[in-house]
Amino acid sequence: MDSQLPPLVPGTLYLVATPIGNLEDITLRALRTLRECDVVAAEDTRRTGQLLKYFGISRPILSCYRFNEARRSEELLERLGRGEKIALVTDAGSPGISDPGERVVRAARRAGRRVECVPGPCALVAALTASGLPATEFHFIGFLPVKSGQRRRLLESLLPVAGTLVFYESPWRIEKLLGELAELLPDSTVVLARELTKKFEEILRGTPAELLARAQQRPLKGEMVVLVSRAATSRGPAEETEIDGVEAVNPNLAVGSH
Ligand code: SAM
């Protein structure tokens, strides 16, 4: 089959989405791109090394993370200029969404290099589609600033915005976010999508205060997406859904876990 597909194009930066937990979620095209590229640029070389090893792929890996992405972008541009085929992967999900992929893509586009997307898993899309909240209009905020004043100002600026709000949040700050939402949007419906596609996948729904009480009772761990809706159709009796997760092929290799 593979031999009938067109080969990778020299001088192209391929944005390869990788699983957010369940290794079975990798696409056939992602595997072929990783197998056929000249080099893999990765946010975490150890983690990507594990992923490649799991799929029996052996390619050189270059590190490209938040603190070296400016310098590394230059090197990647030079390599693309020499006709290399580069696969860019981040720790999990779609490169370019709240991770170092964005800057590299911008640099490549500015330099007139070819950029191709190899789409696949994305935590934002997985959470939004499973949430049951309105998805016709949604606003992706990503990670909020860490500093309280900046967070507050950003959250306040979102009050008039219609549609479902989608945040990425760390387990260390989840109670803080739920507290802020309880103050600013007490009547909203919040869905907290945790450890998606992993063994302990869980989707919780409630008002900000209900979920805060829940988090204070039993700390919420792992990776999570927080979705907030003010639409009347989202409301209803406080409801909580726990979903049995689909077990990862090998939970130790779950690339979405920290
Ligand atoms: N580019 C990736 C994407 O869009 O899929 C996201 C990268 S960002 C650095 C990582 C954040 O994505 C986590 O802090 C969490 O908010 C979210 N995330 C990643 N994997 C997840 C999972 N399995 N379940 C829930 N949220 C996840």
* Collapsed DSSP state (helix, strand, coil) of residue 213: helix
C-alpha 192 to ligand 1 mean position (Å): 12
Backbone angles phi, psi at 199, to 5 degrees: -60, -40
User: What's the rounded Cα separation, in Å, for the pair 129 and 181?
Assistant: 22
pLDDT in tens, 203-229: 999 999 999 999 999 999 999 999 999
Tell me which of 134 and 101 has the higher pLDDT: 134
Structure confidence at residue 103 (pLDDT):
87
Measured from the CB, is residue 90 less than 6 Å from ligand 1? yes
Residues 123-253: name the CATH superfamily.
Answer: Tetrapyrrole methylase, C-terminal domain (3.30.950.10)
Q: What is the mean pLDDT of residues 124-147?
A: 97
Mean pLDDT of the chain: 89
C-alpha 205 to ligand 1 mean position (Å): 19
What are the tokens at 103?
């800057």
Q: Tell me if 191 sits within 8 A of 227, measured CB to CB.
A: yes
Measured from the CB, is residue 223 less than 6 Å from ligand 1? yes
Q: Which atom of ligand 1 is nearest to the CA of 101?
A: 1
Beta strand 61-63 with 39-42 is parallel
Q: Classify domain 2-118 by CATH number.
A: 3.40.1010.10
Residue keyed to tokens 């991770």: 99
User: What's the rounded Cα separation, in Å, for the pair 45 and 91?
Assistant: 9
Measured from the CB, is residue 206 less than 6 Å from ligand 1? no
pLDDT in tens, 17-74: 999 999 999 999 999 999 999 999 999 999 999 999 999 999 999 998 777 777 788 8
Query: Ligand 1 pocket: which of 26, 91, 98 to mutate (most atoms <8 Å of CB)?
Result: 98
User: What's the rounded Cα separation, in Å, for the pair 12 and 210?
Assistant: 48
Q: What is the mean pLDDT of residues 165-181?
A: 97
Measured from the CB, is residue 220 less than 6 Å from ligand 1? no
What are the tokens at 226?
């927080």
Pick the range with the lowest mean pLDDT from 5-9, 131-135, 181-185: 5-9
C-alpha 53 to ligand 1 mean position (Å): 22
Query: Ligand 1 pocket: which of 131, 200, 224 to mutate (most atoms <8 Å of CB)?
Result: 224
* Gyration radius (Cα) of the chain, Å: 20
pTM, whole model, 2 decimals? 0.89
Structure confidence at residue 241 (pLDDT):
44
Handedness of CA 213, 216, 218, 221 (dihedral sign): positive
Q: What is the mean pLDDT of residues 224-246?
A: 65
Q: What is the mean pLDDT of residues 75-81?
A: 94
User: What's the rounded Cα separation, in Å, for the pair 212 and 210?
Assistant: 5
Alpha-carbon 234 to chain mean position: 24
In the DSSP assignment, the letter for residue 233 is: G
Q: Which atom of ligand 1 is nearest to the CA of 167?
A: 16
What are the tokens at 21?
């937990």
Residue 140 has pLDDT above 90, yes or no: yes
Structure confidence at residue 93 (pLDDT):
97
Residue keyed to tokens 């950003």: 154
Domain residue ranges of the chain, discontinuous segments joined by +: 2-118, 123-253
Q: What is the mean pLDDT of residues 75-101?
A: 94
